[in-house]
Chain A
Amino acid sequence: MSSLGSTPSQTVGPYLSIGLPWEDGPFVVPDGTQGAVWIRGMVSDGEGAPVPDALVETWQADPSGRFDHPDDPRGRGESGFRGFGRCPTDERGEYGILTLLPGILPSGDGGDQAPHIDVSVFARGMLSRVVTRIYFEDQDNSGDAVLASVPEERRATLVAAKAGDGYRFDVRLQGEGETVFFAV
């Protein structure tokens, strides 16, 4: 089979809000859904300044830990749960995603993965997306191998804190308290 080189990544530039946001993007589940939580946070740069031209995208399992996707080897989840959220930051660098907490997932080695959400952040000034994960402070994260692979002193940057009607998860692109980003 032929092997093709990948197309390179390029920045979204300053005007991504023309093309990428959707009206229902922040709503992984409709407003008013029982048990839904808001995940809110600020994207900030190396000086702590808000990044007003970023886009946060989220991808996650449904509350039973299933994906509506053919490559889930346990069989495709049929919940119709979109699992995908997308929100541009506002002038204060803030984003918000309304979703349901993901379930526990098998890790493949007989263990479990703690509930988590994968995140991509795009912005002007970033030539490629950065990838991180959201964990939740009120869930049992003790057995999660990915979290355990992160230096202990930086682990807290991956854990969303309970706040109001959901959780708070800030993304610091650089500098003090820099979020852990992953190579995927």
Chain B
Amino acid sequence: MATPTGLRLPSYRQDPEGTHPPMDFAGYRSTKLRHPTQPLVLLPQMLTEVTGPLLGPGRLGEHDNDLTRQHSGEPQGQRIIVTGRLLDGDGRPIRDSLVEIWQANAGGRYRHTGDRWPSPLDPNFDGLGRALTDADGRYEFTTIKPGAYPWKNHDNAWRPAHIHFSVFGAAFTQRLVTQMYFPDDPLFGQDPIFNSIPDEKARQRMISRFDLERTEEQWALAFQFDIVVRGREQSVFEDEEDEDQ
């Protein structure tokens, strides 16, 4: 918007209905006491909302993007390479942006005191990684394919194998935490967290693609997972005289 003070801010499009899960979802029992019951108040996109933290190389340690090299020994399980791009809704790469992941080990166990699933902990696998996107928005991790694991949400409930992803984008409005799934997982049908996304096409965007081209012979399978955050409103780029009419 053009204003007396000359503040012209970018603004970010709302995602279509059904892209994101509802806050209350009966199938995922833990939402019951944790979802707001009052209507959300619309927050106009002002300076605080259209800016965001720029977290650079200072956040990275030496083997943060290779979860198989964080200990002296090799972790158990199937080594995989996960690559992708961080893009906005208009296909623009988001460069120099921090991508964080965390996951279970090959047996479906997290290195967390709260995880009581009696699958062995792997002394050579912590399950956390960080990377920065390059000028083309690309990131890459080497890790171990996480295992599925049971949880107590419903009878015989199992989480499909997944890797948690956290991205910042370029603005507070673009902040996103999601989960990457693997193709053709037989556990999708009974998983309320995966199925909490109302729009079928949006739900499919959480499933990575097997990437034969990036697979390394005799060494690792590869999966490709692009992450898309909200695009900018086109009006930002219109001429001043198109506005205030």
Contact = CB atoms under 8 A, between A and B. Distances in A.
A181 B227 CA distance: 25
Contacts of B87: 4
Interface stretch (B53-61, B69-77, B182-190, B214-222): B53-61
B118 interface: no
A184 B20 CA distance: 13
Interface stretch (A30-38, A68-76, A160-168): A68-76
A109 B46 CA distance: 11
Interface string A102-131: 000111111001001110101111111111
Contact of B43 (A17, A61, A84, A131): A131
A141 B203 CA distance: 41
A3 B52 contact: no
A96 interface: no
B3 A125 contact: no
Contacts of A19: 100-102, 127-129, 164, 166
Contacts of B48: 59-61, 67, 105, 113, 116-118
Nearest to A175: B37
Given A4-B231, A9-B21, A59-B172, A174 B35 contact: yes
The DSSP consensus for interface residues of chain B is: loop
A82 interface: yes
A6 B42 contact: no
Contacts of A59: 48, 51-53, 172
Contacts, number: 246
Contacts of B46: 105, 107-108, 113, 146
Nearest to B6: A73
Interface size of B as a range: 35 or more
A68 B87 CA distance: 22
A24 to B, nearest CB: 10
Contact of A12 (B115, B164, B201): B164
Given A118-B49, A146-B43, A178-B38, A7 B31 contact: no
A108 B243 CA distance: 14
B5 A110 contact: yes
Contacts of A3: 89-91, 231
A179 B41 CA distance: 11
Given A10-B206, A67-B48, A182-B41, 14 more contacts: A4-B231, A9-B178, A16-B164, A19-B100, A19-B102, A19-B129, A19-B164, A20-B102, A46-B32, A108-B46, A116-B48, A120-B175, A130-B36, A173-B34
